[in-house]
Chains A and B, each alone.
Chain A
Amino acid sequence: MLEIRNLHASVAGNEILRGINLVINKGEMHAIMGPNGSGKSTLAKVLAGHPAYEVTQGEVIYEGKNLLEMPTDERARAGIFMAFQYPIEVPGVSNAQFLRLAYNERQKHRGEEELDPLEFKDLLKERAKLVQMDASFMSRSVNEGFSGGEKKRNEILQMAVLEPRLAILDETDSGLDIDALRIVADGVNKLHTAENATIVVTHYQRLLNYIVPDFVHVLAAGRIAREGGKELALELEEKGYDWITKASTANASTNGTSIAVG
């Protein structure tokens, strides 16, 4: 579904990603972990197409197409979804209005039927149950005045409505209390099927108690420093990131390459 080859990316002239290689197949759940500044959020944003990040080398193939040539909105319509670490407030545009627009754009793209406000309301009501969101959130402006937890749940609701092929959750667990974390994780698990893939970007192992990954990739200094199964996350929890970042520096000096998983 997704193949990342030797991806290098910079923001404001600083190189953040320094050669990422990664293969993701449908049905898989991947966790990308790493210390602050290792490049894990940058990877998520580059995949979603944030204009502030410049890809300087490498390629990303998504379902046979060159992803990096696709504008942000086209990527989304082709099934890529990123849940934001800091969801943006959009004053003056209601949640329901926004979601219907996004939903219909995707329907149009697929040549499927668009929904009118009433039909969409029913769909929204049903999907909102997944993240236990109250109907009153639908008429409010997108994320405006939402608490941190409400914003994160709203991201998962958007995901539930848009049904992406590849979902990237960028630090979705940050700022969530344990109850909200359970609700969000439960939503993500229910949305994960054999036909789609999910990338969970997180600093902490905590989330992975609820969302169990098939693969764990640990980033350090813009490269994948270590890969393994779900047990790698537990090892990290125990030992911290230090042993990996140190090993990574040594590894980098011997010009080692990361192993593609898939």
Chain B
Amino acid sequence: MISEATKSQGSYQNAFQTLQANGAGPQRVPWIERLRESAMERFEQLGFPAVQEEEWKYTNVAQIVRAGFLPLTATGEVSAAVGEQQLAAFTYPEARASQLVFVDGLLRSELSSLTGLPEGIKAVDFATALASDPFSELLREYLGRIVDYGDNGFTALNTAFIGSGALVVIPKGLAVETPLQLLFLSSSTKANLAAFPRVLVIAEENSSATIIESYNSVGADSYFTNAVVEIVLKDGARLEHYRVQDESTESFHIANTRADLGRNSSYETTSINLGAKLSRHDLSVVMDHEGAECRVDGLYIIGEGQHTDTHSVIDHKQPHCTSHQLYKGILDGKSRAVFNGKVFVRHGALGTDANQTNKNLLLSNEAHVDTKPQLEIFADDVKCAHGAAIGQLDEDELFYLESRGIHSDLARNLLTYGFAEEVIVRIKVESIKTQLDEAVLNRLHARLEA
């Protein structure tokens, strides 16, 4: 194991050296080069997380280490062609003319379209951003400074391979109705690829926007996505952020998201986890300014052979901030889910309103959940609540539906849908709702055929 980890670490080091020698564009910009070097150094020190570490107790990444995934830039391979029809399957209709498409980690302008966005909003790759002020300055100010790569080997590794990322800037006071989709697609080259998606979103004062961050695969092969998303909300900004992970069930997905909330800003996020053999999402929402509010929802629906892990931190540092977190999970087959949610209410954060709930529905006897909601309060005059539940479909509810002539399978299906609906109903992008309705139905359908 140790030798495998060392070997894999070594292959990333070689890939990094290749990049140092042949890298182009953003990778050649001196400050980015320094950031990448420092991150690589940190990765060499940290290595991959091990199950001995408290934060990784239930999620063993040995398979990722062993597989020896490599970034496209180090393999000399090219992405398989992605046709428009293939792409259409992963595009949300609301974002047909407002999407940036990344294939195997690299921006593909010819597949992207931004004509549906109003003037003023900036959605570009890092190379374009670096070529123009003030965006190059914004990038320099925030990139790598929101998410901390100092304590997470995966985040350090992503930072070391920064290249074709996405910068989104919503200017002051602009309200953008059309959702912007950032689509990260794996092209199925069968080359054991690692992709390092990187996103920086800056919502300026009193702006509002909706972003859909989605991960999909054209094929069903094994690959590794290691994504980092940094979000800054300035005072009074409002952001709706949907994250839909629907990777190939042979793939590995590791992601780290952090949002820093300005005064009276509002961040609403829903994280959907459907795919990947193993997925892990670290999510931090930091409220270091008064009056910020966030809604942090999640839904994971997994089946045979899948493992999903969410570690979230919601940090109330200043007075009068509000956070509502609801994560729901549906597990079938031999699968495992981990939920670890920390809510901190720091000294002086009076008037905090925080609640956190994690509920899990087990559809099989082999499904397993480890849930740990944690509330740490260091302030007075706060309103906080948290709870977790793990259960199975209720016999009386099933009987009720069946007693009306509804087939037992359909009855299970309806009740499962009803369980997920609490999260789905709050989603404001219709086509994501539809996708989830179908995900619940299809998963159960597959179960019936199995």
Contact, CB under 8 Å: B395 / A90:
no
**CB-CB contacts below 8 Å: B393-418 with A:** 394-397, 399-408, 410-411, 414-415, 417-418
**CB-CB contacts below 8 Å: A11-64 with B:** 48-52
Residues on A with beta carbons closer than 8 Å to the beta carbon of B419: 91-92
Bin the interface of chain B by size.
Answer: 20 to 34
Max chain A Cβ within 10 angstroms of own Cβ: one of B397, B404, B417, B419 = B404
Contact, CB under 8 Å: A49 / B403:
yes
| Majority DSSP secondary structure for residues of B touching A | helix
Contact, CB under 8 Å: B399 / A91:
no
Q: In the assembly, what is the distance between CA of A90 and CA of B425, in Å?
A: 15
Contact, CB under 8 Å: B403 / A76:
yes
A-B contact count (CB 8 A): 81
**Any chain A CB within 8 A of the CB of B421?**
yes
**Any chain B CB within 8 A of the CB of A93?**
yes
**Any chain A CB within 8 A of the CB of B422?**
yes
Nearest residue (CB) in B for A103 is: B405
Contact, CB under 8 Å: A106 / B405:
yes
Contact, CB under 8 Å: B418 / A73:
no
**CB-CB contacts below 8 Å: A90-106 with B:** 90-93, 98, 101-102, 105-106
Among the stretches A80-88, A120-128, A173-181, A215-223, the one at the interface with B is A80-88
Nearest residue (CB) in B for A102 is: B404
Q: In the assembly, what is the distance between CA of A42 and CA of B408, in Å?
A: 22
Q: In the assembly, what is the distance between CA of A141 and CA of B425, in Å?
A: 12
Q: In the assembly, what is the distance between CA of A52 and CA of B403, in Å?
A: 14
Contact, CB under 8 Å: A50 / B399:
yes
**Any chain A CB within 8 A of the CB of B420?**
yes
Q: In the assembly, what is the distance between CA of A77 and CA of B403, in Å?
A: 9
Residues on B with beta carbons closer than 8 Å to the beta carbon of A77: 405
**Any chain B CB within 8 A of the CB of A207?**
no
> Assuming A91-B418, A91-B422, A92-B422, is B397 touching A71 (CB within 8 A)?
no
Q: In the assembly, what is the distance between CA of A106 and CA of B407, in Å?
A: 10
Q: In the assembly, what is the distance between CA of A75 and CA of B396, in Å?
A: 17
**Any chain B CB within 8 A of the CB of A162?**
yes
Residues on A with beta carbons closer than 8 Å to the beta carbon of B405: 73, 76-77, 102, 105-106, 109, 162
Contact, CB under 8 Å: B403 / A48:
yes
Contact, CB under 8 Å: A92 / B418:
yes
> Assuming A51-B395, A52-B395, is B404 touching A91 (CB within 8 A)?
no
> Assuming A52-B395, A91-B421, is B414 touching A101 (CB within 8 A)?
yes
Q: In the assembly, what is the distance between CA of A82 and CA of B425, in Å?
A: 31
Nearest residue (CB) in A for B394 is: A88
Contact, CB under 8 Å: A71 / B402:
yes
Partner of B400, one of A87, A92, A162: A87
Residues on B with beta carbons closer than 8 Å to the beta carbon of A172: none
**Any chain B CB within 8 A of the CB of A196?**
no
Question: Can you report 28 residue pairs joining A to B where beta carbons are below 8 Å apart?
Answer: A49-B403, A71-B408, A72-B403, A73-B402, A73-B406, A75-B403, A77-B405, A84-B403, A87-B400, A88-B394, A88-B396, A88-B399, A90-B397, A90-B400, A90-B415, A92-B417, A92-B420, A92-B422, A92-B425, A93-B415, A93-B417, A98-B401, A105-B405, A105-B410, A106-B405, A141-B418, A158-B404, A162-B404
Known: A51-B399, A162-B405. 13 other contacts (CB 8 A): A49-B399, A72-B408, A73-B405, A76-B402, A84-B403, A88-B400, A90-B397, A90-B414, A91-B418, A92-B418, A92-B425, A102-B404, A105-B407
- Report which B residues bind A (CB closer than 8 A): 394-397, 399-408, 410-411, 414-415, 417-422, 425
- Report which A residues bind B (CB closer than 8 A): 48-52, 71-73, 75-77, 81-82, 84, 87-88, 90-93, 98, 101-102, 105-106, 109, 141, 158, 162
